[in-house]
Amino acid sequence: MKDIKIGLLGFGTVGAGVVEILEKNAALLKNRLGVPLTLAQVADLDISRDRGVSIDPVLLTTEAAQVVENPDIDIVVELIGGYEPARTLVMAALACGKSVVTANKALLARHGEEIYAEADRCGGEIFFEASVGGGIPLITSIKENLGANHFHAILGILNGTCNYILTRMTQNGESFGAVLKDAQEKGFAEADPTFDVEGIDTAHKLAVLIGLCFGSIPDFRNIYVEGISRISSVDIDFARQFGYVIKLLAISKRSENGIEARVHPTMLPEDHPLAAVDGVFNAVEVVGDYVGPVTWIGQGAGRKATASAVVGDILQAARNLRAGVRQRTAPLGYLPAALRALPIIPMDDLMGQFYLRFSVIDRPGVLGRISTILGEKGISIASMIQMKRKADSQVPVVMMTHRTREAAIRAALERIDSDGVNCEPSVLIRIENSDSD
């Protein structure tokens, strides 16, 4: 084998980063692999824009299918993102016997099962280290280095945009809307930030992690998703007074009843390892039965970090091709026949502690009414703050509960909100801490 040929689908931010590494670090990559990695073709709808990297124009095409079908190409790198045409192209590349590298978590979250099955059927390989946590090398670690473990839990800060917004809200007291606008103007946040701020991107990444840790491909529609757009600085301030910070967390835990799979703003104790992960950084903690807790922190997005993970995958795929070995490790690290469809536990059945905020007029009986309703639902209050009254205006009343069932909390809040005691809908934020109450 003289060299290994790469075909790139998508010449955007990360694609340009991959081209840059292949060129600038060509000698290093050859020293690691033994043969050169050659960029053979690049497909994008826009082949005229300058990406700030040098590329022979003859390599550029607007026809992605040409790259997939090119018999000279060994490894197809899909960096288009989204569901289609990425799904069709990845499936076609696998059917052509190519090794595939992708950073596309949305694709894997929705179509992972058929893509892994196609790789298995065709004897091909698919690598996706860059799909979760950008440059953080956690997927290979979970599949390979931590393969001795049953995992109990996954906890992750998986979206840099949300973490950046929450960090600025926490550190500077800015509002969600103001930070988002500024982040968009500076190009940190997407023009359409919905997938990021509403937690969908995080849920895509959690779906991939659940497959890797628990050997179960979740139905994406059953993952509970709540984003950060309704988080206010008032709640961030109260969280601080109670010794917590608010993060958008992806959480999955395994129990005998199935798995929890949820993404929502979460109050974390200030001394939790993930509480100090700020700005655009991502972090993931997994807990294995032998290794215990393991935490990774690093850059979860951006051209350089993500391209680093993509090229790492290209190296792995190329090494296997050179050695004539494929499917040494199954895509999720479990043999396809060993994958199980574990049930996702309904949110109502979860046990946890909750932060509740009510907006009330400070009049006799108001607090009594709220505590009566909570008491009737079997909810015990662990601590409480009521702000000082300002004339006849609304005041926040904030409570932290002891451990209770989520269904009880929801039923109580419904009663309180319809009772007229509350001036605005109640706010609920889940608390993640030790299992003590």
Q: Which of these ranges, 58-66, 67-75, 154-162, 268-276, lies near ligand HSE under the rule CB under 6 A?
A: 154-162
Q: For ligand HSE, which stretch binds (CB under 6 A), given 20-28, 156-164, 328-336, 347-355? A: 156-164
Q: How far apart are CA 312 and CA 351, in angstroms?
A: 40
- Stretch touching ligand HSE by CB under 6 A, among 159-167, 249-257, 405-413, 418-426: 159-167
160 touching ligand HSE, by CB under 6 A: yes
* Residues between 282 and 321 that touch ligand HSE (CB under 6 A): 300-301
User: Exposed, middle or buried by CB within 10 Å (0-12, 13-18, 19+), for 239?
Assistant: buried
| CA geometry: angle 321, 205, 247, nearest 5 deg | 140
Residue type, 115: I
User: What residue spans of 186-324 are helical by DSSP H?
Assistant: 194-197, 200-214, 233-242, 303-323
Question: Measured from the CB atom, is 197 or 239 closer to ligand HSE?
Answer: 197
Q: Which of residues 161 and 216 has its CB atom nearest to ligand HSE in the complex?
A: 161
Task: Note whether 124 binds ligand HSE by CB under 6 A.
Answer: no
Q: Which stretch binds ligand HSE (CB under 6 A): 28-36, 57-65, 157-165, 397-405?
A: 157-165
Residues in contact with ligand HSE, shown as a per-residue x/- string from 188 to 217 under the rule CB under 6 A: --------x----x----------------
Find the shortest distance in angstroms from Cβ 182 to ligand HSE. 15
Residue (of 281, 284, 273) closest to 245 by Cα position: 273
Report the SS3 class of residue 350: coil
- Other C-beta atoms within 10 Å of 91: how many? 18
Residue 195 or 358 with smaller CB distance to ligand HSE: 195
Residue closer to ligand HSE, measured from CB, 69 or 174: 174
Q: Which of 5, 205, 253, 377 is catalytic?
A: 205
Per the annotation, the verdict on 205 as an active-site residue is yes
CA-closest candidate to residue 91, choices 75, 114, 62, 61: 114
Cα 33 to Cα 1, 240, 318: the distances in Å are: 12, 50, 8
Which residues participate in catalysis according to the annotation? 205
List contacts with ligand HSE (CB under 6 A). Answer: 159-161, 196, 201, 300-301
